Structure 1
Amino acid sequence: MADVAERAGVSAQTVSRVANGSPRVDPATRARVERAMADLGYRMHRAARALRTGQTSTIGLVVSTLATVGNSRMLQAISQAAAERDYALAVVTVGERGIREAFARLRSQGVDGAVVLNEATELARDAEPPADLHLVVVDSPPDPRFSIVQTDHAGGAREATAHLLAAGHDTVHHLAGPAGSFAAAERERGWREALVVAGVTAPEPARGDWSSASGHSAVGRLLGATAIFVANDQMALGALRALSDIGRRVPEDVAVVGFDDIVDAAEFRPPLTTVRQDFDTLGRRAVTALITAIEGGAPVAETVAATLVVRASSAGA
């Protein structure tokens, strides 16, 4: 460490901060120290550091499922962000024994803290988190017990709904996500708010479970719609197929807008207008908030903007 400090022209404490992934280092200084580490072949020994500091430089991820595209994208984003800070990642799913068992498994692995993802956040709010386990929750109402990082779901939904109304549709129907999901509730709230601003009574929404199959089956409850805002892109894919099955053209007969902007959204037929979630930024901010908490910082609440991406599925009425 002394050799690295001398080569980089900094103190040993600064080298320690860089090695431990502390955010309290100027970017230019961090780059200079990392170059010196690379030149000298310096590597931290995780087990030795854990014995000395009582921290393992391992964080956990608690998730209810990885079957949805959004959760898989968040896993990738958090994994990359953790690696950039030289933290390992341990992933646990909430099984039949509940979230307390998931927390127990993480504690047995010696993690320094954990990110709780999407549908698992409701379980985390209802349970009492372990006092010695720092938590960051992705998508949650305010809670003083942990940090919160979330997408502006309601803002994105308002923009999507306003876009469809501006195209000339009298109203916008909604294919909502599952009851109990914070993200689904926020997207439904944004849809309703946009209709209120336009002086339009909200139609009764249909509801799916985030899967393409549920989107396909829900279209039967939206047969009078000329515009549909769908709570995620996977359900929108199922809706597009169902509309094609019954001979309704998109966008000529029905305009469709999704949410997430998954990788293949531009390859749908027609290419899907959707609200883009910035999963990379969500992952980075969640990891930064967690490491800040691990180092003694105060809980934070951050919201990441969502952006409407207009494609062919939402052409004018």
Structure 2
Amino acid sequence: MPKLAYNVVYADLLRQIEGGVIVPGDRLPSENELVKRYGVSRMTIRKVLRLLAEEGRLDSRAGVGWEVLGAERPEPAGRNVWRIGVDRLPFYSARSYRDRILQGIQEAAEGRNVTLLYNDYWKPELRRADAPDALILQHPKELEAVEEFRDWEKPVCFINRRPANPGFSCLSVDYVQEAKRAVEYLLRIGHRRIACLALSSNNYASQQRKKGWRRAFSDNGLIPPKELVFFAGNKTDISEMLLQHRPTAVFLTFASLLSSFLLSAERAKLRIPEDLSMICFDDLSDIPYVGFPVSHIRMPLATMGHQALEHIVERLEKPETPPLHRMFEADLAINSSCRALTPIF
């Protein structure tokens, strides 16, 4: 088991360094935070950090901590190399989201005259400093932030944001439609008291997914149970809501809500799926701390990243190429976290 834990931590940190999730100059969280995050011993964390340091990827600085070192990527000789900026997702963001998008971008960049740059390109000063030829932006910022790019004259492709400006390319999933489809599945197998666990009301993605929950009821001639809309917060509050309102199923709008929801259900002594069925928006096919497969909405994130890179390169090489606006369908993966109350019909 210790060997397995060591491999998991090493592979995850290496993937984040190579994928640009954490970049040269970034400091890793403290050893205590890494111990909590990965659920391993301090000895395992220190062994991984020492190995990464020996490989020239990290440096330990007194009073600072572990810092990521730079590694220059050689550019192909004799060709114009396009510098494509990719925004950095936070270290704590959902790995299932960020890794799959980066995987698609990096696979599409292999063998092309492309250098990928990673930075927080939502900040104008960093766009000016790095001077990328084009941008792929994957961070789920609010639409107001997207509109700040109205003066950006180079190609830009947003992933999972659909700005009003038709000059921006965007690849997205219809959050409303996909959430509706998941909740309609629960309705179809007999559930009526379906709770919606969402983030704060001003979060764009959460609003859209909550709208899909509501539309699933109204489009099927049912009144959406407003009392079953719960907002993430204190674990005890969610437990109390589950006990007070007794939903038979819960739709989670984000994978980041899963751990707090499971703790709340356990605190309320509710079993999944015997007492409570659940479906989550976001891919949960490889969540390590859940002992059962969770039903989820799986977006084609790697495909979206791959096509974003291909499209951006085409626009750079052929400036007459128009912006791309493409909607993707998600997969609804139904697993053992859902239990039918009546036969499916």
After TM superposition, the score normalised by the length of structure 1 is 0.72
Written as runs of structure 1 = structure 2, the 5 A alignment for 1:1-317 is: 46=76, 48-50=78-80, 56-63=81-88, 65-69=90-94, 70-83=97-110, 85-93=112-120, 99=122, 102-120=123-141, 122-141=143-162, 142-204=164-226, 205-208=229-232, 218-223=238-243, 224=245, 225-265=247-287, 268-294=290-316, 295-296=318-319, 297-317=321-341
Decide whether the 8 Å contact of 2:239 with 2:267 is kept in 1.
no
How far apart, CA to CA, are the structure 1 residues paired with 2:111 and 2:196? 39
- In structure 2, relative to structure 1, the CA distance for the partners of 1:45 and 1:288 (3 Å cut) is closer
Amino acid at match of 2:98: N
1:308 Cα shift? Answer: 0.7
1:153 partner letter: Y
Distance (whole Å) between structure 2 residues aligned to residue 110 and residue 90 of structure 1:
10
Paired residue secondary structure (1:248): coil
What whole-Å deviation, never above 9, does each CA across 1:244-269 have from its counterpart, x for those lacking one? 12211111111111121234248723
What CA deviation, in whole Å up to 9, does each residue of 1:63-100 have, x standing for no partner? 45242222343233323322354422111126xxxx3x
- What is the SS of the residue equivalent to 1:175? strand
Q: Secondary structure at the match of 1:308?
A: strand
Q: Kindly tell me: are residues 260 and 291 of structure 1, through their superposed partners in 2, closer, same or farther at Cα, counting changes over 3 Å?
A: same
Structure 1 Cα separation of the partners of residues 240 and 105 of structure 2: 37
Question: In 2, Cα distance between the equivalents of 1:88 and 1:217?
Answer: 47
Task: Note if contact 2:106-2:306 (Cα within 8 Å) is conserved in structure 1.
Answer: no
Moved more, 176-185 or 190-199: 176-185
Distance 1:153 1:266, change over 3 A: farther
Match of 1:22 in 2: none
Residues 185-221 of structure 1: CA distance to partner in whole angstroms, max 9, x if unpaired? Answer: 222222111111222222332223xxxx877864543
Aligned AA for 2:330?
A
SS at match of 1:144: coil
Q: 1:219 to 1:230 in 2, by over 3 A?
A: farther
Could you say what secondary structure the match of 1:183 adopts? helix
How far apart are 1:46 and its partner, in Å? 4.1
Task: For 1:119 and 1:178, locate their aligned partners in 2 and report how far apart those are by CA, in whole Å.
Answer: 14
The CA RMSD measured in Å over matched residues stands at: 2.7
User: Is the CA contact 1:90–1:106 (under 8 Å) kept in the aligned structure 2?
Assistant: no
| Runs of 5+ unmatched residues, structure 1 | 1-43, 51-55
Change (3 A) 1:240 1:131: closer
Q: Where does the alignment leave 5 or more consecutive residues of structure 2 unmatched?
A: 1-73
Matched-pair identity in %: 22
CA–CA distance in 2 between the matches of 1:47 and 1:92?
25
For residues 59 and 214 of structure 1, the distance between their equivalents in structure 2, rounded to whole angstroms, comes to 41
Conserved? CA contact 1:259–1:276, under 8 Å: yes
Deviation at 1:124, TM superposition (A): 3.8
What SS does the aligned partner of 1:312 have?
coil
* Cα deviation digits, residues 4-56 of structure 1 (max 9, x gap): xxxxxxxxxxxxxxxxxxxxxxxxxxxxxxxxxxxxxxxx9647534xxxxx3
Deviations 1:234-289 (A, max 9, x none): 31232122101221111111111112123424872332111111111111122122
With the length of structure 2 as denominator, give the TM-score of the two structures.
Answer: 0.67
Amino acid at match of 1:299: P
Distance in 1, Cα, partners of 2:234 & 2:305: 28
Describe the shift of the 1:155–1:86 C-alpha distance in structure 2 as closer, same or farther (beyond 3 A).
farther
Structure 2 letter corresponding to 1:57: W
Q: 1:189 to 1:298 in 2, by over 3 A?
A: same
Q: Please state whether the residue corresponding to 1:133 is helix, strand or coil.
A: coil
**Letter matched to residue 308 of structure 2:** A
Q: Secondary structure at the match of 1:313?
A: coil
